[in-house]
Amino acid sequence: MTELNFEKHFQDKVDAEIKIEPKDWMPDAYRKTLIRQISQHAHSEVVGMLPEGNWISRAPSLRRKLILLAKIQDEAGHGLYLYSAAETLGISREELVEQLLSGKAKYSSIFNYPTLTWADIGAIGWLVDGAAIMNQVMLTRASYGPYARAMVRICKEESFHQRQGYEIMLTLAKGSAAQQHMAQDALNRWWWPSLMMFGPKDDDSAHSQQSMKWKIKRKSNDELRQQFVDVTVQQAEVLGLAIPDPDLKWNEERGHYDFGEINWDEFWNVVKGNGPCNKQRLDARIKAHEDGAWVREAAMAYAEKKEQRKLMESAKAEAA
Amino acid sequence: MKNWPLWEVFIRSKSGLHHKHVGSLHAADAEMAIENARDVYTRRNEGVSIWVVESKHITASDPDDSDPLFEPAKDKVYRHPTFYDLPDEVKYM
Ligand SMILES: [Fe+2]
Ligand SMILES: [Fe+2]
């Protein structure tokens, strides 16, 4: 087959909803796009543990603390599933980590915002995990097998994340005036960054069209964002909290909520590294990686020593 | 430094079922691979037994050869019970 035939055969498979697997032929750009997207996703899961980790030791009850720990542990698992999926494309874990630590690879900008109060943990579960779920449910149908399978596993674990966050918000919203204020303040700060999680507008999204053709994505950024707004408005009503957008209004004709313009300057600014916590997050990852180096080395040395010992013992047994 | 090798993880979800591939992870040795697999793949009672195999020991069939490899099975319909016509009188077979 010629390159062109390979390409056509590949696209036919994608169109026929046949999953692409690691050893199948795939266009170089498809492989690159996947590595970029999956690793970015993996980094987001890992960096995403930092803002929440900030509150483990200060959770208001043992119940909340256990839940938060379990949730954050899940996120570590999500990072692992995704790194593994990326590795099937021929990039090593070390390269992936290196790209994150050197700042070459991006992660979701949402995690560059600080968690100032306990209500932020509620808002993150409710809004940030909620937005992530919207994206991830779509990705369970991605054309690349290992990515889609990782997403299925992630989505199963993800639904408790949103509920535990919403429950925190619910408790605060039904609490004292100070607690209600705290909940509203968290919603005010997290609402817009959550909408930004879906990425630039379709017209400004460089990779969107090709990704849709390859069925890596099946919905555009704007479609997903709209879907998120539509379901979240009612959830805010139940909480009795106000979404901080004066332009938010039901549009009978469209059958969707209209909402205000996102501050794209802020979005690009945070992407470029100038968000409130970009430096802090990266420094924390670098420190964790460096502090853990001796553990990784020691574990490897110990494994090698054990292997040696086993070999020697079996040689002795044979000689006897 | 030598990096931790990659392991493939197989989980038996309940007794009586096959082990099924669930994913992979890095670990220094088999023992650590099992412990890590426990932590990442069975946090919600997904398993009663874990197998780990170092990925380099797995030999996979070549997808480019899948036609000649699996073609021979396609025209052997007589391997299926539905291929055979039985008289209606025969009730249990
Ligand atoms: Fe996650
Ligand atoms: Fe989550």
Residue B78 corresponds to which amino acid?
A: Y
Copy the structure tokens of residue A132.
């992530």
Asked if A74 lies within 8 A of B4 by C-beta distance, the reply is no
Pick from A166-175, A202-211, B27-36: least confident: A202-211
In a domain, B13, yes or no: yes
DSSP E strand boundaries for A152-269:
249-251, 256-258
Residue B92 lies in a domain: no
Any idea what the CATH number is for the domain that residue B14 is in? 3.10.20.520
Cβ separation B24–A84 shorter than 8 A: yes
Chain A contacts in chain B segment 16-35 (CB below 8 A): 22-26, 28-29, 32
Element (H, E) at A149: helix A145-173
Number of domains in chain B: 1
Q: What domain range includes position B62?
A: 6-83
Q: What is the pLDDT of residues B50-79, one digit of tens each?
A: 999 999 999 999 888 888 899 888 889 999
pTM recorded for the entire structure: 0.93
Please check whether residue B1 lies inside any domain of the structure: no
Domain assignment of residue B93, yes or no: no
Give a yes or no: residue B10 inside a domain: yes
pLDDT band, residue A1 (cuts 50/70/90) = low
Angle, alpha carbons A177-A181-A185 (nearest 5°): 175
DSSP states along A242-267: --S-TT-EEETTTTEEE-PPP-HHHH
The contacts found for A115-119 with CB under 8 angstroms, 24 or more apart, are: A115/A51, A115/A52, A115/A54, A115/A55, A116/A189, A117/A182, A117/A185, A117/A186, A118/A55, A118/A58, A118/A59, A118/A60, A118/A168, A118/A172, A118/A182, A119/A168, A119/A169, A119/A172, A119/A179, A119/A182, A119/A183, A119/A185, A119/A186
**pLDDT at residue A196 is higher than 80:** yes
Taking contacts as CB-CB distances below 8 angstroms, the residues of chain A near B64 are 25
Residues of B in contact with A70 (CB under 8 A): 43
H, E, C per residue of chain B: CCCCCEEEEEEECCCCCCEEEEEEEECCCHHHHHHHHHHHHCCCCCCCEEEEEEHHHCCCCCHHHHHHHHHHHCCCHHHCHHHCCCCCCCCCC
Nearest CA in chain B to A20: B63
- CA distance to partner chain B, nearest, from residue A305 (Å): 11
Tens digit of each residue's pLDDT (9 = 90 or more) over A69-109: 999 999 999 999 999 999 999 999 999 999 999 999 999 99
Structure tokens at A238: 């139940």
Q: Is B89 part of any domain?
A: no
> Per the domain annotation, does B69 fall within a domain?
yes
B40 touches chain A (CB under 8 A): yes
Q: Measured between CA atoms, how close is B24 to chain A, in angstroms?
A: 6
pLDDT at residue B83, as a whole number: 93
B53 domain residue, yes or no: yes
- Average pLDDT over chain A, rounded to an integer: 96
The residues with which B51 forms a beta bridge, in sequence order, are B10
